[in-house]
Amino acid sequence: MTNEAPRTYDVVVIGAGPVGENVADRARAAGLSTVIVERELLGGECSYWACEPSKALLRPVLARADARRVPGLRQAVAGPLDVEAVLAHRDKMSAYWNDENQVDWLNAVSVDLIRGHGRLDGPRQVAVQTPDGDTVRLTARHAVAICTGTSAALPDTPGLDTVRPWTSREATSADHVPGRLAIVGGGVVAVEMATAWQALGAQVTMLVRGDAGLLPRMEPFAGELVADGLREAGVDIRFGASVTYVAREDGEVRMTLADGAELAADEILFATGRAPRTADLGLETVGLTAGDWLTVDDTGRVTAVADGWLYAAGDVNQRALLTHQGKYQARIVGAAIGARAKGEPVDDARWGAHATTADGAAVPQVVFTDPEVASVGLTAREAERAGRRVEVVDYDIARVAGAHQYAEGYRGQARMLVDVDRGTVAGVTFVGPGVGELLHSATVTVAGEVPVERLWHAVPAFPTISEVWLRLLETYRGRQQDQMLPPEA
């Protein structure tokens, strides 16, 4: 093992997923010497085992579902998906699990790369264990940024160690379609992977604990409409189903549920949430606890560490486990590191250049199921918990002319929350085919804190689904006018 003298950089980034890459890019653009440490592939979970492969699997499924609702086109797409072609497309969209292009990009932006496992080794110090067993020591003049993301969190179900369960990694990279796939969980990964694998030919059974339904963090109608869509596609959804024991016997996975029911499948996917990759990161050398999420302020600094040199961005800070939101944090964190290093003022006021204000106000998300779910800002439940006075405005998207054009028998639902004290929109949820591309209008409205009265002047084109905005506003105004009418004699 060689132990060279420590190399010094202005900024050391640990983890080259989408977020680490962007922190490094922004820090370098601010004129700071920057090195990034990566133990697997540049591009992280998103490029190889999450967003890219999952959406490549889902795109043909959703395009076919849409086409089947268009008269004149339905017959042309009546047949099954070409599984081999879908998997080949997925492989291509995952860059064949090769990060050469991303290395080229890193070189082009003049960020140094060290491959290996990075660990903190005291304040501003990082030790990298390289694949050939060497240790490279790094010192950061200004900042260390932790961008190590998350891994699948598995429950401690007895027998789990014997079944070789699928996690999101296997679910997005599998090269064959299992005959029967059991999915534990009712969150985003569970519903997306149920949509994909059922359409590719597996018989999917979802085992969802409790009675909160699917997508429990979203508006309840989102989970209900997605459950309807999955059932129509042939998925068997069992609510109140807790797995108490699993075993792999004779090549199949056997499960026992809390109510004593038994079932078998060829594979079992645990889509039961995420855990931060901080267990083996040397957190204890800077007074933090191994395995914890890293709590940060709005400029991305880890709040529990003195002197403000340690930052954390992306999944690992648990603010919003989404690529686009982590990259937003990364742009701001990179700029904040740059400003502090140069002694420039840091604008961390609400919506300031160095504050990740949107994390708490306007996080957009699209769930790529049939129907799609697109949401930003608060749900009604969250608004109530936060003590915000909101008016809940609902509209059936099927009544919008553009929805009739989009698909025969369109089914969908929209909800807008109007903050009655501020006169702005606090949250929007759309559910229905094609609504994902509608979401940014809602994000601009929420993040821009556009007064509801001004929205009347933002005219949606006819006949598009976006006319749902007009209908939501009319519903809201109609209600207000009703309230202004004198009581009937």
Ligand X SMILES: NC(=O)c1ccc[n+]([C@@H]2O[C@H](COP(=O)([O-])OP(=O)(O)OC[C@H]3O[C@@H](n4cnc5c(N)ncnc54)[C@H](O)[C@@H]3O)[C@@H](O)[C@H]2O)c1
DSSP code for 143: E
Closest by CA position to 48, among listed 85, 86, 102: 102
322 sits near ligand FAD (criterion: CB under 6 A): yes
Please say which residue, 43 or 185, places its beta carbon nearer to ligand X: 185
Distance from C-alpha of 317 to C-alpha of 310, rounded to nearest angstrom: 12
Contact 17, 43 (CB under 8 A): yes
- What element of type H or E holds 114? strand 112-115
What's the CA dihedral at 308, 314, 315, 317 to 10 degrees? 20
Distance from C-alpha of 428 to C-alpha of 397, rounded to nearest angstrom: 13
Please say which residue, 68 or 238, places its beta carbon nearer to ligand X: 238
Give the chain's radius of gyration (CA, Å): 24
Residues in 193-222 that interact with ligand X by CB under 6 A = 209, 216
187 sits near ligand FAD (criterion: CB under 6 A): no
Please say which residue, 332 or 373, places its beta carbon nearer to ligand X: 373
Contact 308, 301 (CB under 8 A): yes
Q: Is 391 exposed, middle or buried (0-12, 13-18, 19+ CB in 10 A)?
A: middle
- The annotation status of 300 as a binding-site residue, yes or no, is no
- Provide the mask over 147-186, with x wherever binding to ligand X is found by CB under 6 A and - wherever it is not: --------x----------------------------xxx
369 sits near ligand X (criterion: CB under 6 A): no
Cis peptide before 220 (omega within 30 of 0): no
Alpha helices in 347-467 (DSSP H): 358-361, 380-385, 401-406, 439-447, 452-455
190 sits near ligand X (criterion: CB under 6 A): yes
Closest by CA position to 345, among listed 356, 336, 357: 336
425 sits near ligand FAD (criterion: CB under 6 A): no
Beta bridge partners of 425: 418
Distance from C-alpha of 53 to C-alpha of 237, rounded to nearest angstrom: 24
Residues in 324-353 that interact with ligand FAD by CB under 6 A = 324, 326
13 sits near ligand FAD (criterion: CB under 6 A): no
- The annotation status of 185 as a binding-site residue, yes or no, is yes
Please say which residue, 302 or 373, places its beta carbon nearer to ligand X: 373
Q: How many residues bind ligand FAD (CB under 6 A)?
A: 37
Contact 262, 252 (CB under 8 A): no
Out of ligand X, ligand FAD, none, which partner does residue 190 contact, by CB within 5 to 8 A per kind?
Answer: ligand X
- The annotation status of 118 as a binding-site residue, yes or no, is yes
18 sits near ligand FAD (criterion: CB under 6 A): yes
Distance from C-alpha of 159 to C-alpha of 220, rounded to nearest angstrom: 33
Please say which residue, 292 or 391, places its beta carbon nearer to ligand FAD: 292
Among 10, 11, 12, 17, binds ligand FAD (CB under 6 A): 17
Binding piece for ligand FAD, criterion CB under 6 A, among 313-321, 343-351, 422-430, 466-474 = 313-321
Contact 133, 1 (CB under 8 A): yes
323 sits near ligand FAD (criterion: CB under 6 A): yes
Among 148, 256, 299, 441, binds ligand FAD (CB under 6 A): 148
- The annotation status of 192 as a binding-site residue, yes or no, is yes
Sheet containing 252-257: order of strands = 243-249, 252-257, 262-265
Binding piece for ligand FAD, criterion CB under 6 A, among 80-88, 248-256, 291-299, 311-319 = 311-319
93 sits near ligand X (criterion: CB under 6 A): no
Contacting positions for ligand X (CB under 6 A): 155, 184-190, 192, 209, 216, 271-274, 321-322, 365-368
Contacting positions for ligand FAD (CB under 6 A): 14-20, 37-40, 44-46, 50-51, 54-55, 117-118, 147-150, 168, 172, 189, 277, 281, 314-316, 321-324, 326
